[in-house]
Structure 1
Amino acid sequence: MAVNLKLLTAQVVAMFVIFALVLFLTAGTIAWLAGWAFLVLFFGFTIAITLWLLQHNPGLLTERMTGFSKPNRKRWDTIFFALVNILFLAWLILMPLDAVRFHWSQVPGWLQIASAILMLFSFYLFFVTFRENSYLSPVVRIQEERGQTVVTTGPYHYVRHPMYAAALIFLLCTSLLLGSWYGIVLGLLLIGGIAFRAVQEERTLQAELAGYDEYMKQVRYRIIPYVW
């Protein structure tokens, strides 16, 4: 499947510009080492996983790029996605305000470094999830045109939503890497939104994807093993 490289490049560049402008304009300075570290780590991974998908799974990459425009996307998910994006933007704005402009938080340097290392683990979990699930759309929909089936291998053997598990780690680690305790507060709200979406997504999969009921009986936990 051919990937629209111009659209792909535009999406990655636009995301980088938005992230950088929000972080550094809100911080009021570009002399923010943690901010640059975050951008290097996050977009280093974004580019790496994009190149991997381009070579190994262009169909999934196309779905990630265009899934938002598909007609069978669930309406509740469209509303949810808009609200979460607003909250995510507020989260990005709050952290530089907290850590740099007003210095409300004081996060120890060792904890920022540890969080950066743990963030790499979240990227690995994202990667193995992409590797195992060729139907990892950014929206809730059944991909009948791609022959979607239930995925039970890799991290899906342990939790039903490993990408959400990776997102949980990423959100908490980003707040600490950027030096913002208040970022964790909004991060927890985002995690609550992720938990809500996991439940709603499962209802769709139970109703419309053959075999998902049986999979839920085999894998009990949604995001955190032995917890939930």
Structure 2
Amino acid sequence: MLIRLFLQTSVWLAGMTALLFVPAGTIAWPEAWSFLGIIGGVGAAAGLWFARHDPDLLRARLSSPFQTGQPAWDKAILSLFFALYLASFVVIGLDAVRWRATVMPAWAEAVGAVCILASYAIIWRVLAENSFAAPVVRIQEERGQRIVMTGPYGVVRHPMYGGAILFLLGTPLLLGSSYGFVFVPLLVILLAVRSVFEERVLAERFPEYAAYAEKVRYRLVPFVW
């Protein structure tokens, strides 16, 4: 499994590197190297930690985002999400470096880095709390899936999506692109739509989910929605 973790992390970083530097037309982009260092370093550290403490979760997280038994609507949402997400890096590279259309102040880039790190901290805490947090919407009968209501799940019903929003906001800030923010509301809307459909699946399978949803009122962001 560690070999698979290494290979998938390497391929993902190589792809992200190409998506950033090819549109930029140069590798002289310190903000992009900082971004890659953060996602590569934190991703590797998290993978090694879960390999030791929850290998079943890591195995699930390393699985394909498109699986047998996965609802068609989930495949459609994920396909659109990934397409927009990857396209955003092309636009960011063009905007921040090749066109130099945006001049982002250093303090804003620093805020972006903090948002990304905070996002990883939230997601790490979520995964540590919920061993069933797979990348696809599917009831894991084989693992005895249950509804997790503790930790971050006592604050919002989809804390991983909430953490992802911080990542989406922090990325164009750190990379110095105002054009990158065009994609953020679209991606957040897709996360919100997915959360609604996901809850329908959970409510059908777990009778206790309705009481949980009544107790924890907010889906993604406390006191907002």
Instruction: Please indicate, yes or no, whether the TM-score normalized by the shorter chain is above 0.5.
Output: yes
1:133 match: 130
SS in 2 for 1:175: helix
Equivalent residue letter for 1:15: W
Q: Find the aligned partners of 2:207 and 2:40 in 1 and give their Cα distance.
A: 36
Q: Does the CA-based 8 Å contact 2:66-2:136 persist in structure 1? A: no
Aligned with residue 11 of structure 1, among 8, 12, 27: 8
Aligned with residue 107 of structure 2, among 110, 113, 123: 110
Aligned with residue 85 of structure 2, among 81, 85, 88: 88
Equivalent residue letter for 2:167: F
Q: Between Structure 1 and Structure 2, how many residues are aligned?
A: 225
Question: 1:145-176: CA deviations, max 9, x gaps?
Answer: 10000101111000000000110000001110
Gaps of at least 5 residues in structure 2 are: none
The Cα shift of 1:209 comes to 2.6
Aligned with residue 189 of structure 1, among 175, 186, 191: 186
The Cα shift of 1:119 comes to 1.8
Q: Find the aligned partners of 2:65 and 2:191 in 1 and give their Cα distance.
A: 18
Q: Does the CA-based 8 Å contact 2:54-2:131 persist in structure 1? A: yes
2:50 is equivalent to residue 66 of structure 1: no
SS in 2 for 1:66: coil
2:180 is equivalent to residue 201 of structure 1: no
**Which deviates the most, 125-134 or 60-69?**
60-69
2:216 is equivalent to residue 219 of structure 1: yes
User: How is 1:30-41 mapped onto 2 (pairs within 5 angstroms)?
Assistant: 30-41=27-38
The Cα shift of 1:128 comes to 0.5
Q: Which runs of 4+ in 1 moved over 4 A?
A: none
**Which deviates the most, 110-119 or 20-29?**
110-119
Equivalent residue letter for 2:47: T
Equivalent residue letter for 1:136: A
The Cα shift of 1:71 comes to 2.4
Return the TM-score normalized by structure 1: 0.95
1:146 match: 143
**Which deviates the most, 77-86 or 27-36?**
77-86
Equivalent residue letter for 1:122: S
Return the TM-score normalized by structure 2: 0.96
Q: Find the aligned partners of 2:64 and 2:71 in 1 and give their Cα distance.
A: 11
The Cα shift of 1:17 comes to 0.5
The Cα shift of 1:69 comes to 5.5
Gaps of at least 5 residues in structure 1 are: none
User: How is 1:163-182 mapped onto 2 (pairs within 5 angstroms)?
Assistant: 163-182=160-179
The Cα shift of 1:79 comes to 1.6
The Cα shift of 1:67 comes to 5.2
Q: Find the aligned partners of 1:127 and 1:114 in 2 and give their Cα distance.
A: 20
2:53 match: 56
2:113 is equivalent to residue 119 of structure 1: no
